[in-house]
Amino acid sequence: MTQPDTMHANIPLTAVQAGLLRRTRRLFCHADGRAILVPIDHGLYSGPMDGIEDPLRVARAVLAGADGLLISPGFARAIAAELPARCALVMRVGAINDQSPVQGYEAVYASVKLALRYDADWLVHTLYIGGDQDAQAIRDAGVLVEAADRYNVPVLLEFLPRDDGWQPGHVAAWARLGAELGASAIKTIYTGDVESFAGVTGGCPVPVLVAGGPAGGEVADLLQLTDDVVAAGGAGLAIGRRVWQAPDPARLLTMLGGLVHCQVTLAEAVEALGAGQEPGRDSHDVR
């Protein structure tokens, strides 16, 4: 994981460099270079979902502990008055609905200019790797990064497998692919253990965020995941349902943030939360 650059802090930046740096640091605003991003864009894919029926309610529940919100243009409009200046707006510009008969390819539906009209700090786009549409998906991602670069907007590329046949080496290759395409950060799945995920972060020169996955399971497992991600050099979490479907999203985010920024130990976080069962349904969907 790349840490914030302090070596050249006294060298004047061009307007281009300054704009990109400001937007990048809106999300990665902590000195350790790590962040917690909370996606609330699931309605694009799955329609109405428990916990995000009301965009204002969910935004208010998570804003205290989130460094950024991952959001659609429609929800960005709905919560504009509530979004504090310190919180990064990460706008999703591509989607596929779960009702579509053809899955595995996410169409870009929004332009960089549209995102900037909403004062977005970052763009995010997902590539589902492992199918016959990989070439088109990579081409789309490259075009998006190039377009965003013209306006000094960082891009978060998300890489997800199309099926369960992936290996840790695949995840490392995807993360490196995203960095080579020009992404400023990567979002992907956890590989299951610290050693293999260290191979992902060690081969990727930009920050790597881990997707939280579906709600359900033990809170202690989520805390362990967070601790392991940091130990492996990860840049933090992009965690949605496991936060906003929790009984107390703000408290859970406080503990997750403490782990991400090494302010609490795993044992302290487990004790503080009681390490009970997470609500929600099990699912293979890791968004």
Q: What does the pLDDT read at residue 162?
A: 79
Q: Does residue 96 belong to any structural domain of this protein?
A: yes
Q: Does residue 120 belong to any structural domain of this protein?
A: yes
Residues 6+ apart with CB under 8 A from 267: none
> CATH no. for residue 183?
3.20.20.70
Q: Does residue 37 belong to any structural domain of this protein?
A: yes
Q: What does the pLDDT read at residue 104?
A: 66
How far, in Å, CA of 210 to CA of 187, rounded?
Answer: 6
Q: What does the pLDDT read at residue 15?
A: 64
* Domain count for the chain: 1
Q: Does residue 119 belong to any structural domain of this protein?
A: yes
Q: What is the mean pLDDT of each run of 10 residues along the chain (287 residues)?
A: 48 72 94 95 72 81 89 89 90 74 72 95 93 88 96 96 86 97 97 97 98 81 96 96 89 95 96 67 45
Q: Does residue 284 belong to any structural domain of this protein?
A: no
**Which tokens in the block code for residue 54?**
């009301």
Q: What does the pLDDT read at residue 279?
A: 46
Query: Do 128 and 162 meet the contact criterion of CB atoms below 8 Å apart?
Result: yes
Q: Does residue 2 belong to any structural domain of this protein?
A: no
How far, in Å, CA of 72 to CA of 90, rounded?
Answer: 9
Q: Does residue 35 belong to any structural domain of this protein?
A: yes
Q: Does residue 181 belong to any structural domain of this protein?
A: yes
Query: Do 266 and 222 meet the contact criterion of CB atoms below 8 Å apart?
Result: no
Measured CA to CA in angstroms, residue 139 lies from 85, 93, 119, 160, 175 at distances of: 33, 15, 26, 16, 16
Write out the residue range of the structural domain in which residue 267 sits: 15-278
Query: Do 76 and 276 meet the contact criterion of CB atoms below 8 Å apart?
Result: no
Query: Do 178 and 167 meet the contact criterion of CB atoms below 8 Å apart?
Result: no
